[in-house]
Chain A
Amino acid sequence: EAGVAQSPRYKIIEKRQSVAFWCNPISGHATLYWYQQILGQGPKLLIQFQNNGVVDDSQLPKDRFSAERLKGVDSTLKIQPAKLEDSAVYLCASSAGRTSYEQYFGPGTRLTVT
């Protein structure tokens, strides 16, 4: 079974620019998560989707971050405008939802804001 796909793998932008990340979850997985992982720390949940609805976005900085999962499959996460402190790895994960505890992570996108 194919894993969680993310692109791009690396991105370097200047502060105040905008950037978008894409995630394609494992086929059939209803739940999709975006995490931010700052170097040396564990991942922090930004937003959780159940199909195309938002379940939890309490830690998403909504003044600059947005995410969508329009058709309940793939998802995009956008940052506009970026700040230096947004430099991190952005991980996408998916799970089958109520039938499984397991979250499967993608390889991540490493963002550097200069």
Chain B
Amino acid sequence: KNQVEQSPQSLIILEGKNCTLQCNYTVSPFSNLRWYKQDTGRGPVSLTIMTFSENTKSNGRYTATLDADTKQSSLHITASQLSDSASYICVVSLLYNTDKLIFGTGTRLQVFP
């Protein structure tokens, strides 16, 4: 069964600290993996997209890694800011049908001053 699992379910950190969110997937055949940020009351916004051949991609303070062999990905947030408080969703798409997205349930991050 195609599944995407994320951990932790929720996370609280202090402003300025770093954190790492995890994603494990069993999607096959794999096309690409995306990380989305979803602010409360808003739609998801793409942070990174990585294909099979990419093992790291950065977007400002966000760095995503991908290990296609172990089917694991992580999202590392550096020097967190209050505006990083949001849900982070890991999404995998299928080869031959890149429109078909398999969503994780997300990690709820709260950054406190």
List B contacts of A40 (CB < 8 A). Answer: 105
Q: Is A42's CB under 8 angstroms from B42's CB?
A: no
Interface size class of B (residues with CB under 8 A): 20 to 34
Name the segment of B56-64, B73-81, B93-101 touching the other chain.
Answer: B93-101
**For residues 72 through 113 of chain B, which have their beta carbon under 8 Å from a beta carbon of chain A?**
89, 91, 93, 98-101, 103-106
Size of the A side of the interface (Cβ < 8 Å), in residues, is 24
A72 contacts the other chain (CB 8 A):
no
Q: Is A108's CB under 8 angstroms from B42's CB?
A: yes
Bound-state CA distance A93–B46 (Å) is 12
Q: Is A43's CB under 8 angstroms from B44's CB?
A: yes
Looking across the interface, which residue of chain A has its beta carbon closest to that of B42? A107
Return B13 CB to nearest CB of chain A, in Å. Answer: 20
Q: Is B32's CB under 8 angstroms from A106's CB?
A: no
Return A7 CB to nearest CB of chain B, in Å. Answer: 13
Looking across the interface, which residue of chain B has its beta carbon closest to that of A10? B41
Q: Is B103's CB under 8 angstroms from A42's CB?
A: yes
A13 contacts the other chain (CB 8 A):
no
Assess A108 versus B99: contact at CB under 8 Å? Given A101-B32, A101-B49: no
Q: Is A42's CB under 8 angstroms from B104's CB?
A: yes
List A contacts of B99 (CB < 8 A). Answer: 31, 33, 48, 55-56, 95, 103
Report which A residues bind B (CB closer than 8 A).
Answer: 4, 31, 33, 40-45, 48, 55-56, 91, 93, 95, 101-108, 110
Enumerate the 5 nearest inter-chain pairs by beta-carbon distance, A residue then B residue, closest first.
A42-B103, A105-B43, A105-B44, A42-B105, A106-B43
